[in-house]
């Protein structure tokens, strides 16, 4: 069983794959040249995801969701997210969990407002990998989230457990009381 994590950045998308024990099998990123835009960028990202995933049988995946504070390039980010999601499903028949940036940070550091350096330091500490790229660090965290969510293994911390529960347990939907029928006389 292999678990995929993807941070679908426009300039340096990151991807990581872990096994059922959480051992990191792949952790890499693609640096996209500054002049690459539109369909060419999408084709490069698609090729990158295919190359990373090709040798692995992915059973679960997680990808970073949009930042609610994002003020730039929402359309481009939406295209990349849709492309990545479609490729994961087409190649592996896996619907990825979409993880909010605050949940990713909470899972890694215990703090939803952690910065990129704190997440990289947590990855170094928790999984013993010295990553020098924040998108790779995010992808590693996302792959671990996919692993815990799929296997239902017990997370290491309470914060991690809270993230997994929020992704895997359906939220209770409040239902309105039925309206009383009013009969006009």
Q: Could you read off the pLDDT of 70-121 as tens digits, one per residue?
A: 565 788 888 999 999 999 999 999 999 999 999 999 999 999 999 999 999 9
**DSSP single-letter state for residue 77:** H
Taking each continuous run of H as one helix and of E as one strand, the counts in the chain are 6, 5
Angle at 163 between CA 161 and CA 167, to 5 degrees: 115
Q: Is the pLDDT assigned to residue 179 strictly greater than 70?
A: no
Here the tokens at position 3 are 């678990």
CA dist 104 and 51 (Å) reads: 24
Q: Is the pLDDT assigned to residue 2 strictly greater than 70?
A: yes
Q: Hey, which residues does 16 pair with through a beta bridge?
A: 5, 27
pLDDT at 81: 92
Here the tokens at position 8 are 């679908």
Q: Which of 91, 67, 94, 88 is nearest to 78 (CA)?
A: 67
Q: Which of 25, 40, 32, 24 is nearest to 8 (CA)?
A: 32
97 by DSSP, 3-state: which?
strand
pLDDT at 71: 60
Chain centroid to CA 53: how far? 15
Structural domains in the chain, sorted by start:
2-168 (3.30.420.10)
At residue 177 the predicted structure's pLDDT band, cuts being 50, 70 and 90, is low
Residues making up the chain, counted from first to last: 185
pLDDT at 176: 64
pLDDT at 96: 97
**What average pLDDT score do residues 16-45 get?**
94
Contact 161, 106 (CB under 8 A): no
Q: Hey, which residues does 28 pair with through a beta bridge?
A: 15
CA atoms within 13 A of residue 43's CA, in its CB half-sphere: 5
pLDDT at 153: 92
Helix axis angle, 158-168 relative to 101-109, nearest 10°?
A: 150
pLDDT at 78: 87
pLDDT tens-place string over residues 145-164: 999 999 999 999 999 999 99
pLDDT at 6: 97
pLDDT tens-place string over residues 159-176: 999 999 999 987 655 666
Q: Is the pLDDT assigned to residue 181 strictly greater than 70?
A: no
For 126-138, letters b (16+ CB in 10 Å) and e give bbeeebebbbbbb
pLDDT tens-place string over residues 40-77: 999 999 999 999 999 999 999 999 988 766 565 788 88
Here the tokens at position 83 are 């492309």
């Amino acid at each position: 069983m292999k678990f995929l994590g993807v941070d679908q950045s426009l300039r340096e998308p990151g991807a990581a794959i872990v096994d059922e024990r959480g051992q990191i099998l792949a952790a890499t990123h693609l640096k996209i040249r500054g002049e690459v835009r539109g369909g060419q960028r999408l084709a490069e990202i698609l090729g990158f995801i295919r190359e990373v995933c090709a040798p692995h049988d992915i059973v679960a995946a997680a990808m970073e969701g949009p930042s609610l504070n994002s003020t730039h390039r929402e359309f481009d980010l939406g295209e990349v997210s849709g492309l990545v999601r479609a490729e994961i499903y087409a190649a592996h028949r896996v619907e990825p969990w979409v993880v909010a940036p605050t949940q990713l940070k909470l899972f890694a550091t215990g703090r939803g407002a952690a910065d990129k350096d704190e997440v990289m330091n947590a990855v170094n500490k928790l999984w013993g990998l010295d990553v020098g790229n924040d998108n790779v660090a995010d992808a590693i965290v996302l792959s671990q989230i996919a692993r815990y969510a799929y296997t239902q293994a017990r997370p290491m911390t309470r914060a991690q457990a809270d993230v997994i529960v929020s992704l895997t347990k359906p939220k209770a939907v409040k239902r309105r009381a039925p309206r009383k029928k009013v009969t006009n006389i």
